[in-house]
Structure 1
Amino acid sequence: MGDKARVELPPGPRLPAPIQAALMARYWPRFISACRRRYGSAFTMRIATMGTLVYLDDPAEIKKVFAGSPSVYHAGEANSMLAGLLGSSSVLVIDDDVHRERRRQMLPAFHRDAVARQTDVMAEIASANIATWPVGTEFPVAPKMSEITLEVILRTVIGASDPDRLTALREVMPRLLNVTPWASLAIASPRLQKVGLWRSLRRNMDEADRLLYAEIADRRTDPDLATRTDALAKLIRAAGEDGNTMTDRELRDQLITLLVAGHDTTATGLAWALERLTRHPAILAKAVRAAEASAAGDVEGDEFLDAVAKETLRIRPVVFDVGRILKEPVELAGYRLPAGIMVAPGIGLVHSSSKQYAHPDRFDPDRMVSAATGPTTWLPFGGGNRRCLGATFAMIELRVVLREVLRRVELSTTTAAGERQRVKHVILVPHRGARIRVRARKDVPATAAAPASTSSCMHSS
């Protein structure tokens, strides 16, 4: 490391912190990519409200972060601004032993086999929604995908079945989840929720809590609790190492986390997939054939749909980076970084690097077919002990919903320019909502849902 290791921080833009914050809020991927071009693979940002961040794009350095001690690299603290919405015991905002124990309790609910049992429900929800799509007129598909992914979580994760409560949850959750930058101020500073402008956020949170607590109470008294397959039932049954189970408050915090983290993220990935496919006619045609093959039980069809999902998440990562607050000084990228700053493995930087991917700007799902992507070269779900709990759930949901779309409607292709990435709270969405046009509906044989072959999430869970 030599002399360089004595330098505390890598170079970076000298703009005032409020201006860097404004540029991040408006131009996140473009601003960060410009910094990489100018300053190299490690650079320092100073961002108002967040402090000092060191971005990393070298997989070898990112591996050190993901493999590092969770007591040195605090992800929960990096997510602390979400605690006002998610709750103080959310798996996203806790660290150290408490996090390890909570994660151990939650993982079985998202095991591949548990998710595979939910694929028929996912397909049924998707096909019912697709049947409402207009034919012959352009429309933004992102809101439709949000409806599908919210319904999937309500039915498979929370296990809601009471019709009135489902209706109420369908109404309140989008209001709570479509957080404006203005409302996010009151999430970061909960005391603002008592003030007029932000009272509606408080009302929505109270209504969501009422419904979720009612769902928890129902599940606790369900005579069939032991055999239920929804994630909530599994969380109620899951005991910690000390034999204790989660309190109602802890359960509520995990449910709201799964709703927030697993709903808009997956919906956005689906919207980007259709935005990309409709601009690449040959790939779209191949994906349609794969959807038909998948529906017939052909594993190769599944593999190509998985590749479409993986390549979409590479070229249009829903979350651009993940953060870790350093609890003690650390040597990374040739610098001795001080305690208290945040290191940010740049997911979008790695995914767009020509060192990792030939022609990184090219949408090419074939590159993902049977490709052995490493955990620090393809990392849309973060990594290490904080890799998204719902990664398997999200990937299977992406495949199932894409399969249903591609086999049920014929999509028009377009020569329009690709949609820009727009910053929406902590994710990157298509700036026009991923506008598509359905040319025609297809006759789908009324067979049972496709076989459940297997190949919400936010990062740092």
Structure 2
Amino acid sequence: MSPTTAATLPRGPRLPAAVQSLLFMQYWPRLVSACGRRYGKVFTLRVAPMGTLVYLSDPADIKKVFAGDPRVFHAGEANAMLRGLLGESSVLVIDDDVHRDRRRLMLPPFHRDAVARQVEVMAEITAANVATWPVGRPFALAPKMSEITLEVILRTVIGASDPARLAALRAVIPPLLNVTPWTSLALLNPDLLRRRPWRKLKRRMEDANRLLYAEIGERRADPNLDERTDALAMLVRSADEDGRAMTDVELRDQLMTLLVAGHDTTATGLSWAIERLTRHPAILTKAVQAAEAGNDEYLDAVAKETLRIRPVVFDVGRILTEPVEVAGHRLPAGVMVVPGIGLVHQDSEIYPNPERFDPDRMVGATLSPTTWFPFGGGNRRCLGATFAMVEMRVVLGEILRRVDFATTTAADESQKVKHVILIPNHGARVTIRAKRPVATEPVPTGFSPPS
């Protein structure tokens, strides 16, 4: 048989699977990038407990995965490790028709007009947070960005307004979402939550559930539900073609999903943006001028280039439910095909001088969904991609209007793995020289949907 008809796997390291697993857990992006340099556009890794991974970095191969039959390319199954935290009905961990129908119900809060209504709140939250930042001494920016993005989600997505409940959510959610290898064990095996080392995690999950169910109950009872603009209200109002609405449990799972997918990820993207700008004085000056002039196009370009050169998520996976021919190999069922976001974004054939931070390359650019895909792709592209890009633009604009950052010649902060995202190793440390007065409080960046 030819290699295109017989089950075959691409080349990859010959190390034992146990060794590959250890290297992957310790050096994930570095290992994958090294394999890309050695083996080319497609290669195989064996990583427990994920199994056999076939990495792809050719846009044509990635297009085949993203455009493939969702019944064959299972993303929910690939995200199964998140089920313990997100819940069985989370849109991230389900597949097939169930996923299609659930995704359809979740789209309205992330349509263009719905996102536009949240811009002013995003700006207000940012302005209030920036007012607390220290001047004249170094500090880690990442925790501040996390505060901003969490508040944005709590107020625009969940729609929380009760002061006591808001305070409780601010206290409970961040430590719950700080998933470590240790807590991952209990998320993979919920029976461990009964044991002493994981009881604190269990209490946090119970506290979060209590607060989220209280918000759901309040929204269902709200006589002005139809007038509300928060995502939870829109989800409570939504129903499928048969008139079926989501249950409280299903709503809870989607809220937890939006918290996990839209909190640390956006905060990390924003942290990387400032980390990059403070190391490139000319670009920082241009970005400040764009913020002051309301130049959305350049602020969008800064966000896009940041997500290219420092993708928050390095790759996305699909588990094959049947044999599929990809990249000249007949891959067997059970293999996870992995479009490598980080690999493609660093490809010099696609992005000349890929190590150079250059927002100008994004100005007016028409980006292909298989050469720039920080939010994944196909039918599993992040629901909140437009929301996240608008939030990055608005928050960046507000910060740059209000803060005079000191530039630095310090080495770039390295990428550190935090669960499934890549964060700045030192939290994006910055120094503010001065706060800038602004004409009004605040002036939201104008809305236009990102291309």
Whether these two folds match at TM > 0.5 is yes
Q: 1:364 to 1:72 in 2, by over 3 A?
A: same
Match of 2:74 in 1: 74
1:253-272 matches, within 5 Å, as: 253-272=253-272
Once the 2 structures are TM-superposed, how far is the Cα of residue 128 of structure 1 from its aligned partner?
0.5
What is the SS of the residue equivalent to 2:431?
A: strand
Q: 1:121 to 1:331 in 2, by over 3 A?
A: same
Q: Give yes or no for contact 2:172–2:208 (8 Å, CA) kept in 1.
A: yes
Distance 1:227 1:369 in 2: 37
Distance 1:87 1:373 in 2: 34
Match of 1:52 in 2: 52
Q: Give yes or no for contact 2:12–2:45 (8 Å, CA) kept in 1.
A: yes
Once the 2 structures are TM-superposed, how far is the Cα of residue 81 of structure 1 from its aligned partner?
0.8
Distance 1:98 1:4 in 2: 32
Distance 1:96 1:249 in 2: 20
Distance 2:35 2:103 in 1: 35
Match of 2:419 in 1: 425
What is the SS of the residue equivalent to 1:344?
A: strand
Once the 2 structures are TM-superposed, how far is the Cα of residue 19 of structure 1 from its aligned partner?
2.2
TM-score normalized by structure 1?
Answer: 0.96
Once the 2 structures are TM-superposed, how far is the Cα of residue 55 of structure 1 from its aligned partner?
0.2
Once the 2 structures are TM-superposed, how far is the Cα of residue 28 of structure 1 from its aligned partner?
1.5
Q: Does 1:351 align with 2:351?
A: no
Distance 1:201 1:261 in 2: 19
Match of 2:428 in 1: 434
Match of 1:217 in 2: 217
Output the aligned Cα RMSD.
1.1
Q: Give yes or no for contact 1:352–1:360 (8 Å, CA) kept in 2.
A: yes
Distance 1:151 1:453 in 2: 20
Distance 1:231 1:326 in 2: 33
Q: Give yes or no for contact 1:120–1:452 (8 Å, CA) kept in 2.
A: no
Structure 1 unmatched ranges of 5 or more: 295-300, 456-461
Distance 1:270 1:71 in 2: 35
Distance 1:2 1:104 in 2: 41
Distance 2:404 2:17 in 1: 48
Distance 1:88 1:7 in 2: 33
Structure 2 unmatched ranges of 5 or more: none
**1:149-181 deviations in Å (ceiling 9; x for gaps):** 000000000000000000000000001011111
Distance 2:306 2:437 in 1: 27
How many percent of aligned residue pairs carry the same amino acid? 71
1:308-387 matches, within 5 Å, as: 308-387=302-381
Distance 1:354 1:4 in 2: 29
What code does the residue aligned with 1:241 have? E
Once the 2 structures are TM-superposed, how far is the Cα of residue 44 of structure 1 from its aligned partner?
0.4
Once the 2 structures are TM-superposed, how far is the Cα of residue 423 of structure 1 from its aligned partner?
0.5
What code does the residue aligned with 2:417 have? V
**1:340-394 deviations in Å (ceiling 9; x for gaps):** 1100000000000011110011000000001011000000000000000000000
Q: 1:176 to 1:3 in 2, by over 3 A?
A: closer
Q: Give yes or no for contact 1:12–1:39 (8 Å, CA) kept in 2.
A: yes
Q: Count residues in correspondence.
A: 449
1:19-418 matches, within 5 Å, as: 19-294=19-294, 301-418=295-412
Distance 2:439 2:357 in 1: 32
Distance 2:70 2:106 in 1: 18
Distance 1:67 1:52 in 2: 22
Once the 2 structures are TM-superposed, how far is the Cα of residue 189 of structure 1 from its aligned partner?
1.1
Q: 1:414 to 1:228 in 2, by over 3 A?
A: same
Q: Give yes or no for contact 1:153–1:263 (8 Å, CA) kept in 2.
A: yes
Once the 2 structures are TM-superposed, how far is the Cα of residue 103 of structure 1 from its aligned partner?
0.4
Distance 1:451 1:271 in 2: 19
**1:105-137 deviations in Å (ceiling 9; x for gaps):** 000110111001100000000011111111011
Q: Give yes or no for contact 1:78–1:323 (8 Å, CA) kept in 2.
A: yes
Once the 2 structures are TM-superposed, how far is the Cα of residue 15 of structure 1 from its aligned partner?
1.8
Q: Give yes or no for contact 1:123–1:404 (8 Å, CA) kept in 2.
A: yes
Q: Give yes or no for contact 1:412–1:437 (8 Å, CA) kept in 2.
A: yes
Q: Give yes or no for contact 2:302–2:359 (8 Å, CA) kept in 1.
A: yes
Moved over 2 A (4+): 1-7, 16-19, 446-452
